[in-house]
Structure 1
């Protein structure tokens, strides 16, 4: 039953409703007719009565993006951002807050969005992937969206950019759930798990870690998704309060900093509202006195007074106004004993499990899952996570469908490996040490257990219940770095990039190619003399990331570069030889395993040319050369698809052609 996550591949993806994207798209292209999804029709049934009831939708129509936009629509323009999202009439902030956080982790987001557009092989059909109970499921939708006039009824594109990926992704999730009405109110934990396949740590903000700021920054460094929720207000539903926050509402946590204020320091946290506006009006909010008074040199990077739904507030106000913080990662994050981000976890997974219901009142204990704690580790060392299938959930149920207990198995019962006898559960025994919990559709509980033999015993009080069970076991700290393959000179991930950027940036604003060369060679390649980044390579990298076309990288552009460098390093380490050399013969594998190149095809002839271009005479590819190759391949493929009208060719003026090839 032991299981470790595997790379996502086409063969490991389940097709929802048995709809194959490629065959459906190819048939539409042959017929020259846009796709119409009969399994999720452009009808009231796809919206659902919960959202139709009491609303005058007589002018409702289903329109495709090119009918809703005055300019040609885009799937993604540049990078996907939380600011592309604006919530509609459905109360799905729980899903959109999780999605907003996912945009800060491009590698995870790319698994869901893939490489799609309104130009290359457009046939009115799109596909998205969601994690469901131990496997990825691909959902196909047409691009007909419910709208009144030019306004989408649900998630709508931000004005000015006409990016439709959030609208289409929301539609795919509605199809997976049954209708748009099934998105009207839900659990944040469910959205986080469905978007990542990760495990959720829930932090009670009224009894949270003493150093909440460090906990949030540490979670950001690991690429975790972070969301939070306000408690219920005096009336049912989401209501805007006097302080600008919305009751019974989900927000995305997007950052945390310690900032100079008056004679000391203030800890502040940044949040984003899926409504796209309606912001906090208290301390450190947009236009507040605190921002006017601070003399912190980073003010220009941290603070923007915009009606974009994003705002800062003090950590104290955050804890007083929000009830829970949800942190989701591929493996558990424990916020105790030093906030260690790189712990090694072993995963045991039990898929497609079934519990029979019980009407007698006495707990049934036939289903048992054993595990061992071999060594004592610091903090929480066991995480138990249940994910219940929606077919086992009933909307009218107030109680959750599964309860479970964790028992320490002592002698003489350790001889039983598959099922403990009824005598083990005798109420007269004093050494059972059971711990009982209830679970909802996604429930995670952390424990600190001493070494020994243990068993998890779930029970279903009423109905038959299907579920996935994951048990995470923390490994000893001594194995941490060897398990993760962390080498000296490894890039720290997202959170640490800011401090490195500020050390090399001019006045904390931006960096040029020379500063980037110093940064990469000193922070990343210490002692690797032969493989240093040349100035010409750094000029090329700057040109590829330079959205403002000013020959420099600001903090946002550097952040985009940083995420790609982190991923390039993982690819380089995975395919290099034991001697530390990457051979040109492995460039094809490197492309296949680079997340930001998903969907990009390279012919064998082009790959041979690239081997000549980016390797030396012995066929050796350095890490700097690999970075330049992968990033340039991404930029050129995206440029072609953005400029091409039919996906087959493009027309450029001489000046456009020269600007493209001579600068980038």
Structure 2
């Protein structure tokens, strides 16, 4: 097998240009000065002379948001981040902003790139930071808050005057710094931005399918937490021109919804889009103020329709298919778009980080790296996804597509003995590579395959002298739902926990003299108040002892009302996570454990490596890879407690020193 295979883990965040946000902010606060970023200075070169000259613009001023008194006090985020906070400026970076607009609909994904504890008031030092995914690692990018201003207007993304939120402007600046200048954001590929904001995989949806299938795909992708964006084709001038339809040619939009709505005597499929320009909208059927909205009697009209100049509009599926060139769907795992079939399944992942390929034009492909994988069972649809991401240092500003190609070959029986490298005789002119659907951009090359069982090899190649890359191979696993043990009697989870669940009546019903609850009483409470149906997989006494220990701040083996209240809040969140993650049969598969971690509010900011996730799968799932609600609760709460304990005890955030007694007290009681 190929070497250097290792799990893709969010082990550490790389500091871009070795700049540490906390250190720099605290240094400025101590000195009483505002941060000025020498690595991305407030000069024309940070914008890009090509961009200024191309638009005939003079060099702008650089101002901090609080210096503009006409707008009132600036805010980083006032309430919550929204796509409507984004208004595109002079840079042609709609490909970034459309992806970002989609990201705002997924708060747990947004938190990964947008650290929320930033402000223009508390600990303000003129410095902010953001995170982007780059070849398998998150990179933290620091910027100062000096923004280019021309003719009293912000040159690039600018805040809405009614809320004065600057998170989109500063995030755009951080992304420009990561790429070298604002000019390097002037034109790009939507899938590249989707990957940089999530670390996910992008699928190109078929726009030639029937409208009803398209609506179903969009709705199911949204339910799966996918990000969606689309683009219009290039127009006659090759620029982003507003057409008679109100759409902009060569432009990116965010997909924000899809519905089937009653119209006249039938139904019509419609899709909702958002334009990063903020106001320019579609003028055809189902547009704001159109006859179709006046005529429909669908009872959902009040919820779906708003006649606002905010860049968001509805368009019929047929018009969408006629006017748009592609629809991109981004997810953490591969998804299937087969006419209403389940959009996501169970996948295993092979990851090869920090890989390098050298050019061997005279010697042939047998000298290139070789990566083997095994397909064990036949499948009805695509069952293998191969995805390359090129490292930034291997890219040039002139690149239009990724400077890398690859082929996938089936290894026939006479070559099965070669496990590390296939000989030159394997690569004959008569050998055909496997074919599949592919998506190729400047930074990413992803191809989906429907392969029969057997051993396969991935062989990349490049026209460069050398190239560095990340390779991910996803293999679809068989559907274990069909093989579930009929004797597995999971007790059902009640439809909802009472929001006012922490009532004195509930607590006192199980508490000893209304004062506190021990593990035995907690077991009765949880199994009777949370679960329903016949006896089955219930909260065990040992699990309840563990929960008491994790919540027991007074270390007396019992939960008082305040400790129980903390536990109850987590139980309500766990219930929401379980019901939104499990597959509808009351069973959460271990392959979805990562999704449960991401959706748990009390685990915000806590990352888990693939290696640890695999260990936790062994610890908390049964032999068929199923996780019950009680097991999920224990896992999520223990993960929170252990992560917080580490950060509380660690002096440098990298390690900790404990005496033997401290170590034993920590691991034996909790």
TM tier, smaller? 0.7 to 0.9
Change beyond 3 A, Cα 1:619–1:21: closer
Aligned to 2:534: none
Tell me, in whole angstroms, the C-alpha distance in 1 between the residues paired with 2:415 and 2:371.
Answer: 14
Taking structure 1 as reference, are residues 153 and 488 closer, same or farther at Cα in structure 2, changes over 3 Å only? Answer: farther
* Equivalent residue in structure 2 for 1:444, among 446, 452, 455: 446
The answer to whether residue 494 in structure 2 is matched with residue 525 in structure 1 is: yes
Which of 521, 542, 547 matches 1:583? 547
Q: Residue 261 of structure 2 contacts residue 267 of structure 2 at CA under 8 Å; is this kept in 1?
A: yes
Q: Deviations over 1:215-256 (max 9, x none)?
A: 001110111110001000011210000000000000000000
Task: State the TM-score, normalizing by the size of structure 1.
Answer: 0.74
- Within 2, Cα distance between the matches of 1:537 and 1:632? 18
- The Cα of 1:458 is off from its aligned counterpart by 0.8
Distance 1:251 1:479 in 2: 37
SS at match of 1:415: coil
The answer to whether the aligner puts 1:42 opposite 2:6 as a matched pair is no
Cα deviation, 1:133-166, whole Å, max 9, x if unaligned, reads: 0100000000111112542100001121000000
Give the drift of 1:288.
Answer: 0.4
Q: Describe the superposition over 1:420-462 as per-residue Cα deviations: whole angstroms up to 9, x where unpaired.
A: 0011112245xx5444979441121111111111001111134
Count of matched residue pairs:
536
Partner SS, residue 320 of structure 1: helix
Tell me the SS of whatever aligns to 1:190.
helix
* Counterpart Cα distance in 1 of 2:50 and 2:250: 18
State how far apart, in whole Å, the 1-side matches of 2:603 and 2:404 are: 49
Query: 2:260 is paired with a residue of what secondary structure?
Result: strand
Deviation larger for 214-223 or 49-58: 49-58
1:375 partnered with 2:387: no
> How many angstroms does 1:68 deviate by?
2.8
Q: Where in structure 1 are there 5+ consecutive unaligned residues?
A: 491-523, 539-572, 589-603, 635-664
Q: Which secondary structure does the structure 2 equivalent of 1:469 belong to? A: strand
Q: In 1, Cα distance between the equivalents of 2:331 and 2:29? A: 39
**Greater shift after overlay, 203-212 or 410-419?**
203-212
- Aligned in 2, Cα 1:428/1:285: closer, same or farther, shift over 3 Å? closer
Matches within 5 A, 1:276-355: 276-336=278-338, 338-355=340-357
Q: Deviations over 1:578-606 (max 9, x none)?
A: 74787254359xxxxxxxxxxxxxxx89x
1:529-561 per-position Cα deviation (integer Å, ceiling 9, x unaligned): xx83154769xxxxxxxxxxxxxxxxxxxxxxx
Q: Which residue of 2 aligns with 1:171?
A: 173
**Do the aligned partners of residues 438 and 378 (structure 1) sit closer, same or farther apart at CA in structure 2, a change above 3 Å counting?**
closer
The 1:386–1:631 alpha-carbon spacing in structure 2 relative to 1, beyond 3 Å, is closer
The 3 A distance-change label for structure 1 pair 20 and 368 is same
| Cα 1:39–1:480 shift into 2, 3 Å | farther
2:236 aligned with 1:234, yes or no? yes
User: How do residues 83-162 of structure 1 correspond to structure 2 at under 5 angstroms?
Assistant: 83-115=84-116, 116-162=118-164
Give the deviation of 1:488 after TM superposition.
Answer: 7.4
Q: C-alpha distance in 2, partners of 1:33/1:60? A: 23
* In 1, Cα distance between equivalents of 2:375 and 2:211: 25
How many angstroms apart in 2 are the aligned matches of 1:80 and 1:169? 12
CA distance in 2, matches of 1:632, 1:364: 50
Does the CA-based 8 Å contact 1:408-1:455 persist in structure 2?
Answer: yes
How far apart are the structure 2 equivalents of 1:396 and 1:625? 48
SS across alignment from 2:416: helix
| 2:425 alignment partner, SS class | helix
Closer, same or farther in 2 for the Cα pair 1:458/1:489, shift >3 Å?
farther
Distance in 1, matches of 2:472 and 2:301, equals 43
Cα offset, 1:466, TM superposition: 1.3
Q: What is residue 571 of structure 2 aligned with on the other side?
A: 623
**Mapped contact 1:337–1:379 kept (Cα < 8 A):** no
Ranges in structure 2 where 5+ consecutive residues have no aligned partner = 504-536, 577-599, 605-670
Structure 1 residue matching 2:388: 3-state secondary structure = strand
The corresponding residue for 1:78 is: 79
Asked if the contact 1:229/1:323 (under 8 Å) is kept, the reply is yes
Check 1:290–1:35 CA distance in 2 against 1; reply closer, same or farther (3 A cut): same
1:389 deviates by 2.0
Superposed displacement of residue 480, structure 1:
9.1
Do the aligned residues in 1 keep the contact of 2:225 with 2:331 (CA within 8 Å)? yes
CA distance in 1, matches of 2:104, 2:564: 37
1:488-522 CA-partner distances (Å, limit 9, x unpaired): 799xxxxxxxxxxxxxxxxxxxxxxxxxxxxxxxx
The 8 Å contact of residues 336 and 380 in structure 1, kept in 2 or not, is answered as: no
2:564 & 2:98 partners in 1: Cα distance?
47
* Structure 1 residue aligned with 2:517: none
Q: Distance in 2 between matches of 1:32 and 1:14?
A: 27
Alignment check: 8 A CA contact 2:61 2:149 kept: yes
TM-superposed CA distance for 1:5, in Å, is 5.2
Q: Of the candidates 177, 181, 184, which is equivalent to residue 182 of structure 1?
A: 184
Aligned to 1:52: 52
Alpha-carbon offset, residue 627 of structure 1: 8.6
Whether the 8 Å CA contact 1:2–1:347 is kept in 2: the answer is no
TM-score normalised per structure 2 = 0.74
Equivalent of residue 193 in structure 2, options 191, 199, 218: 191
Change (3 A) 1:587 1:134: farther
| Superposed displacement of residue 386, structure 1 | 0.9
